[in-house]
Each structure stands twice: as structure tokens, then as C-alpha cells.
Amino acid sequence: MPGSRPAPSWALLLRLLALLRPPGLGEACSCAPAHPQQHICHSALVIRAKISSEKVVPASADPADTEKMLRYEIKQIKMFKGFEKVKDVQYIYTPFDSSLCGVKLEANSQKQYLLTGQVLSDGKVFIHLCNYIEPWEDLSLVQRESLNHHYHLNCGCQITTCYTVPCIISAPNECLWTDWLLERKLYGYQAQHYVCMKHVDGTCSWYRGHLPLRKEFVDIIQP
């Protein structure tokens, strides 16, 4: 297990998100692609929740700071990751400025979300568009089941996005993610129905689903 790292602060996260904007595009947010398994492994917090309300709040107590945050009051339904950092999440925060990857969620509705994010140094939960945030109803059965077990247990695997052929595995613990190559979208069939799983010999390969696990390696050399 890696050593614990200091939790980031508001100011640091806002500076990092500002770097995501491509030069000359003040209203753009750009994120590196990541498979849902990677999002779960790299996030400090993973929860299922409903959004009760939203409110615009100052980003800090400094009167000179003009940055605003959007604060969502939530009803936490289940926590999958983050128990050691927070017990029950009441609020989550996101940048108000869309150019800083602020997330717009539906409040006062029955919609439930899977939310991944960071826990800041003051204990606040912070989310942005580069996190994995999906309506719960849009998740496949495999994704829902993997939140409890498979994703967490296989964080030692490396998932690499394949954009063009040929795609070549460069490490024994690597799985090639081919949704963009085959479907021209990131969260396609592979993201929805496969988990990159680690074997006892340290190698990793794709496995499908919630049924008795059987190997179904995705052949990306001959799509």
C-alpha cells in the first residue's frame, strides 16, 4: 500500500484545475481519459448519493478571493471508499466556474449518482468533471458489483487507452482499453462490462462480469 499523502487544499486544487484549460480557451475543461476502474482506484472517496439542494458559496474566507464554489447538500446512500477519511458526507463542493471543470448535478430529484472525488485537508469533499460521476441508473450490473470488490482488489493493474492500431502491451500488468478505438466513445462496452484483473503471477487481463469468472481477453491487435 502506498504511504498516505497530505490532503490537498482548495487553492491547490483550483490552481491544478486551471491548468486543465487549453491555452486560449477560457471556457474549456479538458481531462485525460480514464477507465472507471482507474477512477475508483485513484479517488479518495466513492459514494452513491442523491442531491438535496445546491448553493453558491465563497471558495475561501479571504475577502479578496473572488472564486466561488457550488455546494451540494447530499443524501448519502452508500459509501464504497473513503471510510478512513470521512464517515458520512453531507456536502460536496465543485468549482462554480465551468472553465474549472465544475460539475452540474440535478438537485431536488429522485436521481441517484455515483460520485468519486477528493477529500480536502479540512475534510470537505471536492468533485470536478475529471472525476467519474455518473447517474446510478446508467451503470451496468458489472460496474455496480465491481464497486464493492473487483475494482479495489485490482488497483495494481495498469489500464492504457488504445486510440489506434497496433496497440501493444508494454508491461505484464497492463490491460489495453479499446472502447475509443472500436466505438469512438470512452465508456463503451469494455468500460461497462469488463474488469482488468490481476493473476497470482502478477500479470493482468480483462475479465467479464458477475457470472463465474471466465477469461475473455479483448484482442485489440485484430479489432
> Which domain CATH number covers 85?
2.40.50.120
Of 108, 138, 168, at which residue does a domain stop? 138
Residue 223 lies in a domain: no
Q: Quick one: 163 and 111 in the same domain? A: no
Q: Three-class SS string for the chain? A: CCCCCCCCCHHHHHHHHHCCCCCCCCCCCCCCCCCHHHHHHHCCEEEEEEEEEEEEEECCCCCCCCCEEEEEEEEEEEEEECCCCCCCCCEEEEECCHHHCCCCCCCCCCCEEEEEEEECCCCCEECCCCCCEEEHHHCCHHHHHHCCCHHHHCCCCEEEECCCCCCCCCCCCEEEECHHHHHCCCCCHHHHHEEEEECCCCCEEEEECCCCCEECCCCCCCC
Task: Give just the sign of the alpha carbon dihedral 22, 23, 28, 29.
Answer: positive
Distances (CA, A) of 145 to 80, 190, 210: 11, 15, 7
Residue with cell 469512438: 184
Residues 126 and 152 in one domain: no
**Same structural domain, 117 and 154:** no
Flag whether 94 is in a domain.
yes
Tens-digit pLDDT profile for residues 85-135: 998 899 999 999 878 899 999 999 999 999 999 999 888 999 999 999 999
Question: Count of CB atoms within 10 A of residue 9's CB?
Answer: 15
Q: What is the pLDDT of residue 12?
A: 52
Q: Determine if the peptide bond prior to 166 is cis (ω within 30°).
A: yes
Question: Last residue of a domain, which of 107, 138, 169?
Answer: 138
Domains in the chain, number: 2
Bridge partners for 208 per DSSP: 194, 214
Mark whether 58 and 114 lie in a shared domain. Answer: yes
pLDDT of amino acid 14: 52
- Any known ligand binding at 162? no
21 assigned to some structural domain = no
Same structural domain, 114 and 129:
yes
Give the number of C-alpha atoms closer than 13 A to the C-alpha of residue 193, restricted to the C-beta side.
Answer: 12
CA distance 73 to 68: 16
Q: For residue 83, tell me if it sits in a domain.
A: yes
Q: Which residues contact 171 (CB under 8 A, 6 or more apart)?
A: 158
Expressed as residue numbers, the domain containing 105 is 43-138
- 52, 107 contact by CB (below 8 A): yes
Looking at the fold, whether 128 and 186 belong to one and the same domain comes out as no
CATH number, position 165 = 3.90.370.10
Tell me which residues of the chain have a pLDDT lower than 70: 1-28, 209-223
Domain's final residue, options 117, 138, 159: 138
